[in-house]
Structure 1
Amino acid sequence: MRMNKKRSLIRLIAGIVALSGMVSLSGCGEAARQEAKMQGNEITLWTHTAGSEAELSTVEDIVADYNSSPDRKGTVKIQSFPQSSYNDSVISASTAGNLPCLVDVDQPNTPYWGWANILAPLTDKALLKRTNQLIGSAKGTWNKQIYTVGYFDATTALFARKSVLKDLGIRVATVDRPWTKAEMDDALAKMKASGHWAYPFEMGTADNKTEWYAYAYAPILQSFGGDLVNRKDYQTSQGVLNGPEAIEFANWMRSLVEHGYINSKGGSDTALDFVNKKSGLLYGGIWTMSTVQKYAKDSDDIVAMPMADFGHGSVAGGGSWTVGMTPTCNNKEAAMSYIRFSLKDKYIARMAKAGMNIPATVGAQNLIPEFEPGGSMQIFTKISSKYVKMRPETPAYNFISTEFRKTIGDIMNGSDAASGLNKAVNHIDGNIKGADGYIKK
């Protein structure tokens, strides 16, 4: 009798063990199926941040957090490129039909990439709701649709030493009271007359291979009352790039060279030159402040100010790197889910701080002491929010930028302003007409 009971007990235990093994195997099987599903929904993100350790590390952390999130719609992989070769890699992949699901893109390139079917508009309702909380310059739009979103903005400003301005009797400009054109001209004349600098003003004229001229000098053109292209329909530059306001702007730029205020060839590292007191006034990007804070022993004496108002309000450059989705993406739900996930304030703050740029949301700004009220970088947030004018949202922008750079470079070196601008307008209008107005059919 006892033997029978013992056998029964053994059978019961064996049954329980077998059942528990089946449950365990079932659980493992479900986990494996879910993992296989995620791998099947794998998407790739291309990023230009291979040369920036801080930014790439942040992207890697965001991706890792997303991939371990229970709400993920797929698995994200990263492929990083050096910034110098990134755009060419994307264009080549588009031509070959090998685009990934997600690409980052410099904001002014968004319209062209949208027109060229490299980008698709973002349509996820939850994502679009989140974009409403981003500053305007952190969004890439075209044809009234949002194609890309970013984590930060980069803007432009004037940099000077308060002690220098005080000694020369020059007012420190503020966001609410930028210099007038007369004050700008007076400041430059006084700096030149002081004899402290061969060229008192540095504005990056040596950077004539990138779009710096359009990013930095077009805002001055716009403050004079002109523009790169007519923004009503983006079909012509006639009247805005060669009108009287544009000619006045171009002549002013040439006068800077003629008066010896600037060197038309400029320095290769304008921020470091300013720190080393090779210039008294610098027109540069927000990234200048990082150089100042790192190398200037008198950083507390250096002040950032908005560019002067040349008659139509102070204008600042804006827009930086963003991320978007390609039309050939095999899992658009996962792509837009990842973008939405990456736009949490904590990630925006980390991305912005990696390059010390303006965080794209107020919540993220409050996570970085430098951008909080009273912080050393808050001045740039104020300049951006009040004075940024985005580069033209047209696929023709890259061509326009190149024409503008060549034309203004020639004018600063002595070419006639009116004829040079007319020639640029003819080239730009020809490009737009040749592309059937860049209207997507």
Structure 2
Amino acid sequence: MPHTNRHRTTRRTVVRALAATLAIASLATVGGCGEAARAAAKANANEITIWTHTAGSEAELAGVQQIIKDYNASPDKKATVKLQSFPQSSYNDSIISASSANNLPCLVDVDQPNTPYWAWAGILEPLTDKALLERAGDLMESGKGTWNGDLYTVGYFDATVALFARKSVLKKLGIRVATVDEPWTKTEMNDALAKLKASGEWTYPFEIGTADNKSEWYAYAFGPILQSFGGDLVNRKDYQSSDGVLNGKEGKEFAHWMRDLVAKGYISSKGGSDTALDFVNNKSGLLYGGIWSMSTFQKYAKDYDDIVVMPMADFGHGSVTGGGSWTVGMTQSCPNKAAAQDYIRFSLQDKYIATMAKAGMNIPTTTGAQQLVPEFSKGGDMQIFTKISKKYVKMRPETPAYNFISTEFRKTIGDIMNGADVDTWLDKAVNHIDGNIQGADGYRKN
């Protein structure tokens, strides 16, 4: 699409509207940088800054600090890199605030599903350096943030979701242990839930994280189930409408299945606040959770060796799993884009990817880095997550509308699980989503 002032105005209006709603505390994080600081940064392009969300994660922050230290000590460096860290809770607000004030650094952390919005809003610049793009080709698909065919961000690690059960429980109830190559079918999934419920051992035998109704967990974890049924959050041909994919036949089947989980007493629509710890304490017999659940099991489960990791069931259109975690990208306002991209390429060495992935015990995004982390190398007890991700990952919709879609989906599925009419609520969600997309002129690229 040719660039128009209307598109540019729409983007700026949205960014400014978001900035206007920020808490004063968020504004304060960047308030110290004024006109003089901006002028100095532009005058001294030999010094570039990276903003990171890892202020609350010592291991990840230390990993970033090590990469920067090594790059700055390199005789081939194209600039000196400086670091500013923020708490994750206020990070996105700080970015939006700095963007509206034209006060962004050269490099920023980006949660992968936010990449299209930040690109559309004029925050990010596509990565074009030949050496960087060549290295990016070695990354798992879920380690890249793209929009409209352009690569904007790259990541060191990935997270995904899976089913967790105890082998002894499955054996006792005559339930097959699903494998990456042979997930449960929809019939097997329903039979397993019925057997777990009939055993009488748990009030709610299945835990899927319904209590996490403030984040994007519903879209990240339940969106893949919808996709396995054959529906989706939005039509991916052009990302202009959810009509027919969210409220079509398959979408309705998915929504009815989710509601039946509650109606049959398989899950609680309220859920537990720490699903992994609840599973350790045998409050559920089957858990659908993130890779991060393993850290809890490793720390607290005395029967750790009895816990089995399985892909989510195949509901008719293949097993589907979520993917995409934190990545790093370059801003449009960066005065030294060559140095920024050189730093990113330098940071994608296997040894650094391994360090960053191990910090949160997530999947390293290159095969080489996976070999450097015992848990993810051959025979490691976390390697199955890499296999699940590589075989079944479907990225969250790569559209600037994603955050709105995610929020709308969360409210809609939450209401349906609590008894709202499936057809009415799905149609209403589609109307809201399509209205948001139309109101932003389709979120089209420049």
State TM-score, norm by structure 1: 0.91
Post-superposition Cα deviations, 1:150-185, rounded to whole Å, max 9, x if no partner, equal 001100000000000000110000001100111111
Question: Unaligned regions of 5+ residues in structure 2, if any?
Answer: 1-42
Q: Distance in 2 between matches of 1:189 and 1:237?
A: 33
Post-superposition Cα deviations, 1:272-328, rounded to whole Å, max 9, x if no partner, equal 111111110000011111111111011000010000000000000100000000000
Work out whether 1:209 is the aligned partner of 2:214: yes
Report what 2:69 is aligned to: 64
Post-superposition Cα deviations, 1:52-105, rounded to whole Å, max 9, x if no partner, equal 000000000110000000110001111111111100000000011100100000
Contact preservation (8 Å) 1:39, 1:74: no
- In the TM superposition, residue 267 of structure 1 has moved relative to its aligned partner by 0.4
Partner amino acid for 1:218? G
Work out whether 1:400 is the aligned partner of 2:400: no
Report what 2:230 is aligned to: 225
Large movers: runs of 4+ above 2 Å = none
Report what 1:244 is aligned to: 249
Report what 1:439 is aligned to: 444
Q: Count how many residue pairs are aligned between Structure 1 and Structure 2.
A: 406
Report what 1:329 is aligned to: 334
Partner amino acid for 2:227? Q
Contact preservation (8 Å) 2:107, 2:328: yes
- In the TM superposition, residue 40 of structure 1 has moved relative to its aligned partner by 5.2
**Structure of larger gyration radius:** 1
The SS at the match of 2:353 is helix
Taking every aligned residue pair, what percent have the same amino acid on both sides? 79
Report what 2:354 is aligned to: 349
Q: Distance in 2 between matches of 1:137 and 1:67?
A: 29
RMSD: 1.3
Post-superposition Cα deviations, 1:26-50, rounded to whole Å, max 9, x if no partner, equal xxxxxxxxxxxx9751111000001
Partner amino acid for 2:163? L
Contact preservation (8 Å) 1:39, 1:75: no
Post-superposition Cα deviations, 1:227-277, rounded to whole Å, max 9, x if no partner, equal 000000000101000001000000000000000100000000001111111
Report what 1:303 is aligned to: 308
Partner amino acid for 1:105? V
Query: Which of residues 83, 87, 109 is equivalent to 1:82?
Result: 87
Structure-2 change in CA distance of 1:322 and 1:41 (3 Å): same
Q: Distance in 2 between matches of 1:263 and 1:76?
A: 49
Report what 1:122 is aligned to: 127
Report what 1:136 is aligned to: 141
- In the TM superposition, residue 440 of structure 1 has moved relative to its aligned partner by 2.2
Report what 1:167 is aligned to: 172
State TM-score, norm by structure 2: 0.90
Query: Which of residues 45, 48, 51 is equivalent to 1:43?
Result: 48
Partner amino acid for 1:49? T
Contact preservation (8 Å) 1:66, 1:341: yes
Query: Which of residues 271, 279, 284 is equivalent to 1:279?
Result: 284
Report what 1:371 is aligned to: 376
Q: Distance in 1 between matches of 2:200 and 2:237?
A: 46
The SS at the match of 1:392 is coil
Report what 2:113 is aligned to: 108
Query: Which of residues 291, 294, 305 is equivalent to 1:289?
Result: 294
- In the TM superposition, residue 374 of structure 1 has moved relative to its aligned partner by 1.2
Q: Distance in 2 between matches of 1:232 and 1:73?
A: 40
Contact preservation (8 Å) 2:45, 2:335: no
Contact preservation (8 Å) 1:227, 1:246: yes
Report what 2:12 is aligned to: none
Q: Distance in 2 between matches of 1:88 and 1:170?
A: 47
Report what 1:409 is aligned to: 414
Post-superposition Cα deviations, 1:170-203, rounded to whole Å, max 9, x if no partner, equal 0000001100111111111111111111100000
Work out whether 1:315 is the aligned partner of 2:312: no
Post-superposition Cα deviations, 1:337-375, rounded to whole Å, max 9, x if no partner, equal 100000000000000000111100000000111111111
